[in-house]
């Protein structure tokens, strides 16, 4: 195993130390509870947004903490859910009286631990108002290694951005939660791997692929997809990713979408630009209009090679919320 680390069991703590040093003006880190907070104090009466999950998907979630996006991100160990105490503490700290929205990717451990924290927070004296939206946009498989139902992937980035923008506008919890729910209902994703990833604690790749194979529909922890398929040119890979996405919602001619072509962690940007070209060509042929594209590493799987595609059917309000100012380590514009 070749990694820029000190020791497998210190990866998350060491990375959070570096993250805090790099983004000191924008975030604060509670190292004891491995949780990242906005550095600026939350505006009284605005909804708090808490997300989190296993580490290894950087910049998700800590990279999305800041103005116009998350209030806090709870970091689990690599590919391991944060514990309820992390989520409970973060939920308490970001509440300003307007309640807290939890954004949770659909993995059994995450859902359970966020739920437990929400229950504990609600049961406290003068209990907090909590809403939870579970993201489950991955069309690849119905159930998976760590999931009942569909897995949550790229839609999370959009839910965090758009709900964050709504919260920044001072809208009430029900509204902010409704935005996140609308994102999830209109989002579909699918991923593929050219090569597996190596979790530091395991020290070896978490699945195997022959030199002429790819995993179509892979999960963000290397969970098996729909099929181990023969390696194909990028144009064909784009077709194989988009066909199930388009059929599932279904997306229709005339739809306006937000589009993410996402790298899995060790995919060079030149390949992601190229993949975006193939995706854009197919969407144009289907009469689907890309309102806002996003190309790069936004929800990764350690050093997995490959990519995923996410489409979000977006009305004008969602596009407007996408364009709203954001100032986080990983997404930044308008400020």
Interacting residues toward a second copy by CB under 8 A: 2-7, 11-12, 14-19, 21-22, 55-56, 58-59, 63, 194-195, 211, 214, 231, 233-235, 237, 261, 265-278, 280, 290, 293, 295, 297, 300, 302-303, 305-307, 332-335
Burial class (CB in 10 A: 0-12, 13-18, 19+), 162: buried
Nearest residue (CB) to a second copy, 30 versus 129 = 30
Alpha-helical segments (H) within the chain = 11-22, 84-94, 108-123, 155-168, 173-185, 234-248, 269-285, 316-323
Phi, psi of 73, deg, nearest 5: -130, 125
Nearest residue (CB) to a second copy, 274 versus 319 = 274
Q: Which of 31, 67, 221, 289 is catalytic?
A: 221
Nearest residue (CB) to a second copy, 99 versus 225 = 225
Provide, rounded to whole angstroms, the least separation between the CB of residue 267 and a second copy: 7
3-state secondary structure of 44: coil
Q: Supply the DSSP string of 171-210, one letter for each residue.
A: --HHHHHHHHHHHHHTEEEEEEEEE----TTT-S-SS---
Nearest residue (CB) to a second copy, 42 versus 63 = 63
Give the DSSP H or E segment for 228: strand 227-230
Angstrom distance (rounded) from CA 50 to CA 116: 14
Q: Which of 57, 61, 67, 286 is catalytic?
A: 57
Nearest residue (CB) to a second copy, 92 versus 289 = 289
Q: Supply the DSSP string of 36-52, one letter for each residue.
A: EEESSPPPTTSPEEEEE
Provide, rounded to whole angstroms, the least separation between the CB of residue 156 and a second copy: 16
Instruction: Tell me the helix, strand and coil percentages in the chain, rounded to 5.
Output: 35, 25, 40
Whether 221 sits among the annotated catalytic residues: the reply is yes
Provide, rounded to whole angstroms, the least separation between the CB of residue 209 and a second copy: 8
Q: Which of 210, 178, 164 is nearest to 322 (CA)?
A: 164
Provide, rounded to whole angstroms, the least separation between the CB of residue 161 and a second copy: 15
Angstrom distance (rounded) from CA 190 to CA 207: 18
Provide, rounded to whole angstroms, the least separation between the CB of residue 96 and a second copy: 27
Provide, rounded to whole angstroms, the least separation between the CB of residue 294 and a second copy: 8
Whether 57 sits among the annotated catalytic residues: the reply is yes
Nearest residue (CB) to a second copy, 12 versus 242 = 12
* 8 A C-beta contact, residue 50 and residue 7: no
* 8 A C-beta contact, residue 64 and residue 165: no
How, if at all, do strands 256-263 and 305-313 pair?
antiparallel
Q: Which residues are catalytic?
A: 57, 221
């Amino acid at each position: 195993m070749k990694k820029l680390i000190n020791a497998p069991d210190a990866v998350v703590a060491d990375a959070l130390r570096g993250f805090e040093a790099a983004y000191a003006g924008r975030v604060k880190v509670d190292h004891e509870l491995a949780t990242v907070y906005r550095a600026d104090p939350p505006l009284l009466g605005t909804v708090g947004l808490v997300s989190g999950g296993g580490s290894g998907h950087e910049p998700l979630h800590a990279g999305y903490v800041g103005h116009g996006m998350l209030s806090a991100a709870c970091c689990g160990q690599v590919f391991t859910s944060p514990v309820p105490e992390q989520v409970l503490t973060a939920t308490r700290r970001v509440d300003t009286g307007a309640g807290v929205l939890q954004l949770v990717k659909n993995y059994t451990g995450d859902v359970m631990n966020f739920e437990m924290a929400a229950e504990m927070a609600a049961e406290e004296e003068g209990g907090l108002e909590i809403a939870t939206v579970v993201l489950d946009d991955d069309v690849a498989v119905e159930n998976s290694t760590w999931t009942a139902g569909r897995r949550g992937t790229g839609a999370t980035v959009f839910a965090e951005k758009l709900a964050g923008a709504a919260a920044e506008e001072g809208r009430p919890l029900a509204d902010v939660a409704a935005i996140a729910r609308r994102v999830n209902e209109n989002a579909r994703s699918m991923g593929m791997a050219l090569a597996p990833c190596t979790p530091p604690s395991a020290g070896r790749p978490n699945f195997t692929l022959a030199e002429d194979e790819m995993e179509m529909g892979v999960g963000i922890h290397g969970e098996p997809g729909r099929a181990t398929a023969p390696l194909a040119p990028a144009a064909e890979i784009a077709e194989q990713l988009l066909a199930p996405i388009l059929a599932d919602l279904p997306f229709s001619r005339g739809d306006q979408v937000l589009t993410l072509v996402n790298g899995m962690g060790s995919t060079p940007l030149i390949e992601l630009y190229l993949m975006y070209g193939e995706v854009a060509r197919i969407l144009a042929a289907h009469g689907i209009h890309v309102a806002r594209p996003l190309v790069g590493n936004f929800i990764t799987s350690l050093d997995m090679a490959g990519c995923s595609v996410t489409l979000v059917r977006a009305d004008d309000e969602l596009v407007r919320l996408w364009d709203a100012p954001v100032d986080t380590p990983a997404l930044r514009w308008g400020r």
